[in-house]
Each structure stands twice: as C-alpha cells, then as structure tokens.
C-alpha cells in the first residue's frame, strides 16, 4: 500500500471540513446534536432568511460564535501550523470549508477560507468593508451607505468568493500531496477539488472515520482521528526544498 508520506519533500495542501472542528467540540451541521437539528437551513443561512429576519439570523450566528470562542484548537491544528513554519514558504496551504477561524488561531498563515469566517461581518452591498462579528447591530448600515452588516459567511444559494476558489484550485494544481480531513465530500464545489487532484495524479490521503464519495479515489485512507493522524503525518513529513 502506498505510504501517505513521500521520500522527499513537496508541496502539501490540506483540505479540512466539519470533522476537523468536531474534535474541538464544535458541532457539525447534520445529524444528532448538529447545528441544523430542529431548524431548517433556509430559515437561518440564506440571503432570504436574513432579509426576512436579520435579528434572528444574527442571534443564531452570535450563539455559534460564542461556542467557537470557547473551543481550543486540537493537536492536529497545531501540527499543521508547525509544519508550515518548518518548511519553505509556500510548501503548506490549508483550504478549509469551516468558518470557525480555528486554523488561524492555531498559527497557520497560508489559509484559504472557502466559506468565509464566522468572526467577521461584512457589508451586504459588497463594498469590501469588514469588522468583528460582535460589533454591528442587526440592521446597522455600513458606512458606505448601501448595505447593512451581515455575517461574512457563504450562505446556501450563494457562490463562493471567486478569488478564494481560484486560490484553492491553484494550490491543488501545484500540490504534490493533498490531505483531505474530516469532510463529507458532498458539498460542492469544494468536494470536486480533491477528486480532480487525484485524477491529475496528486497523492490524495483521506483522513476520515467514515467512508465518503472521495474514498474510492484516494491514494490512501486513514480512519483514525484527525488530531492523531495529522500529528503523525506532519512529524514524518520530510524536510527539504519544494519543486
């Protein structure tokens, strides 16, 4: 069986999903105890829901943020940040579907946040202004005068930021290895990224206790906990120059 660690150093891209955060005590979206239990996504995480009841949407997101801020990054997050520090610049890129900001809190610097960041608010008119989530009132206007403040996350029915998607695609195009951690591999377009990488010959290592649609395309599948597997992979990753 192919080893998840190469003989020589190369560029590694790490794609993380809700399972990565779950080990920190942050709820996943679906299933028992999930964030959607007892609620419909269309009532809380769509532009239409925000337009209909911004106070309810803001209340839900601030409750989520409070839970996130109580959690701490686990050893897997720390291992990725340390790997980035000891390898040449650009050798490690994290692409995350999570909005909790945990990778940056752990010290990772090269992070692509595909679905935004729960700790930020942004102008609904797209002027580019952002501020901490705790600050704006539910119907407060941005200083541009064209939009109100909303959570800086991608809602159902919205497209990903083209710049973030482009950065993720570019990172995987240049990768030698991709670690896909704790993602169900069913949310597109993010789910398509590691599969396309595998089809181009990139070594894809899936870290997930459950079988996913990506499993059959992965070079190697590791069924352990994300924290344990990432610590092992990062510790064994060779030093040296990237291509």
- Helix ranges restricted to H, the chain: 18-22, 41-44, 47-52, 54-70, 75-86, 102-106, 162-173, 192-199, 226-236
Annotated catalytic, 74? no
Identify the active-site residue in 103, 104, 115, 150: 115
Which candidate, 75, 99, 77, places its Cα nearest to that of 27?
99
CB atoms within 10 A of CB 111: 21
And the tokens for 89?
């610049």
* Sign of CA pseudo-dihedral 228, 27, 93, 166: positive
CB atoms within 10 A of CB 155: 19
* C-beta of residue 98 within 8 angstroms of C-beta of residue 20: yes
What does the chain come to in residues? 243
* Sign of CA pseudo-dihedral 215, 113, 188, 50: positive
Q: Which residues are catalytic, by number?
A: 115
């Amino acid at each position: 069986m192919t080893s998840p660690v190469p003989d020589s150093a190369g560029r590694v891209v790490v794609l993380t999903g809700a399972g990565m955060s779950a080990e920190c005590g942050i709820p996943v979206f679906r299933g028992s105890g999930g964030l959607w239990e007892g609620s419909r996504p269309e009532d809380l995480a769509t532009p239409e829901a925000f337009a209909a009841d911004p106070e309810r949407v803001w209340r839900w997101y601030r409750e989520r943020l409070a839970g996130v801020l109580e959690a701490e990054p686990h050893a897997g997050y720390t291992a990725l940040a340390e790997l980035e520090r000891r390898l040449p610049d650009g050798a490690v890129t994290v692409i995350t579907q999570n909005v909790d900001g945990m990778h940056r809190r752990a010290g990772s610097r090269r992070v692509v946040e595909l679905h935004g960041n729960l700790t930020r608010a942004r102008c609904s008119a797209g002027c580019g202004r952002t501020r901490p989530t705790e600050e704006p009132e539910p119907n407060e206007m941005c200083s541009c005068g064209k939009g109100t403040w909303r959570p800086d996350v991608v809602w159902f029915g919205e497209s990903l930021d083209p710049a973030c998607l482009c950065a993720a695609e570019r990172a995987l195009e240049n990768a030698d290895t991709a670690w896909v951690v704790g993602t169900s591999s069913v949310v597109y377009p993010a789910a398509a990224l590691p599969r396309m990488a595998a089809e181009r010959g990139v070594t894809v290592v899936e870290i997930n206790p459950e079988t996913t649609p990506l499993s059959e395309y992965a070079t190697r599948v590791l069924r352990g906990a994300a924290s344990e597997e990432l610590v092992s992979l990062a510790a064994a990753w060779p030093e040296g120059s990237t291509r």
